[in-house]
Amino acid sequence: MVTRRDMMMLGLAAPWLTACGGGGSGGGAGPENVVLSAIIDDDWNRAAPEGEGVPAALMQTLLAEGAQIPSLRSLLVVRNARMIGERYYADGKSSDLRHIRSATKTVSSLLAGQAIRDGKIPGVTSTLAELLPREMARVPTSVAGNVTLAQVLRMRSGLAWDEDVHMQELLHAPDLASLALGLPIAPLGPNGPYWNYNSAVSHLVSPIVAGAYGEDTLAVATRNLFAPLGIRQAAWQRDGTGAIIGSFGLQLRARDLMKLAWMALDGGMWQGKSVVPAAWLNESFTNHVHIGPIGDMSDVGYGYLWWRGMLGGHQVITAYGFGGQFAMLVPDLRITIATAALWDLPIDEGSKNEELIFNLIGRFLSKL
């Protein structure tokens, strides 16, 4: 069972930037560095669940049972591009920008696909030596030059990393790109590099995108992804060099995380316009490795910084952040689900909460 993914980020202090709404946070930082915005929740069409084929009692049960998970702060359900369920728990509000933790990696994957679409990156077979020449020059002993973008996106870079053991090293590294590029080669498996969850190497997608456009990653994301989806404000953490961290640190409203989910489920389309190429999403959702169960989610695999598996009898594809930050796609039901939860927790507690949320959603899906 996979239980630990992005816990190395707990307590990390670094510069922040807010964007997509005038540059200010709209308020102070709340619990767990929640950015308190003043955004009004007027950006989704609402519908009664029964109008979209979901029994009202079933939706009510889902939202009510969510309150039994103490860490849960929001639970949203969209079907056919209409919000049919939305509830905030404890101190959660629709206007809060909350950490999506390692679901940030999935956003980086979307940006990489757009860069390939725009001709800024030749393709996923491009190597780190080709994509990050300046960063590679800072680490002359690096053995990562032949690692491809595809290997980075699949977590099969072949660079040695233990997410638990190197947690503090990642926390205090002033230059995450140099840390990642300085990693040694790991032993190969029978079919090449093993799958190994690696928040250092996955960070590299951010400087790759920035270098491809010659712009800051947040500026690229704001123009190409956030603005087309009507995401008016975001906060995104930087490392000591000022680089946007590609593997964690993005804060969004749950409603905005849901926009990313619905856009991805709908073939990269948003309100009739293509935002991310459908072909990129199809490749990103392809299962490149079998991992194992997570709670009630079985047959878990990994694509291009997306998780996938079976939950409640349905195939689901998920952006996944520690503690229960989920953007879940259920293609056969035309449903997307977004959650936010407390993350500044002991590893075992956060992982248990993830399972509770998966199991809650699985019970809901099994009745549809």
pLDDT in tens, 35-83: 999 999 999 999 999 999 999 999 999 999 999 999 999 999 999 999 9
Q: Which is nearest to 340 in space by CA: 82, 101, 27? A: 101
**Alpha-carbon gap, residue 251 to 235, rounded angstroms:** 5
Q: What pLDDT is recorded for position 7?
A: 29
**Mean pLDDT of all residues belonging to the chain:** 91
Q: What pLDDT is recorded for position 30?
A: 54
Domains of the chain by start residue, with CATH:
16-40+54-365 (3.40.710.10)
**Mean pLDDT value across residues 274-286:** 98
Q: Which is nearest to 243 in space by CA: 265, 276, 223, 219? A: 219
**Alpha-carbon gap, residue 236 to 244, rounded angstroms:** 7
**Alpha-carbon gap, residue 151 to 140, rounded angstroms:** 21
Coil, helix or strand at residue 264 = helix
Report pTM. 0.92
Strand partners, 19: 234
Q: Which is nearest to 200 in space by CA: 12, 9, 49, 4? A: 9
- Residues 121-157 as b or e (16 or more Cβ within 10 Å = b): beebebebebbbeebbeebeebebeebbbbbbbbbbb
**pLDDT band at residue 10 using 50, 70 and 90 as cut-offs:** very low
**Mean pLDDT value across residues 159-166:** 89
**Mean pLDDT value across residues 24-37:** 62
- Checking DSSP bridges between strand 269-270 and strand 250-252, what pairing results, if any? unpaired
- The end-to-end CA distance of the chain, in Å, is 26
Cα 203 to Cα 98, 106, 176, 198, 209, distances in angstroms: 20, 11, 7, 9, 11
In the chain, DSSP finds a helix count (H) and a strand count (E) of 13, 15
| Encoded tokens for 13 | 């202090």
Q: Which of 166-170, 209-213, 225-229, 336-340 has the lowest mean pLDDT?
A: 166-170
The backbone region for 188, taken as left when phi is positive above 0, alpha when psi lies in -120 to 50, beta otherwise, is beta
* Residue range 179-214, pLDDT digits in tens: 999 999 999 888 889 999 999 999 999 999 999 999
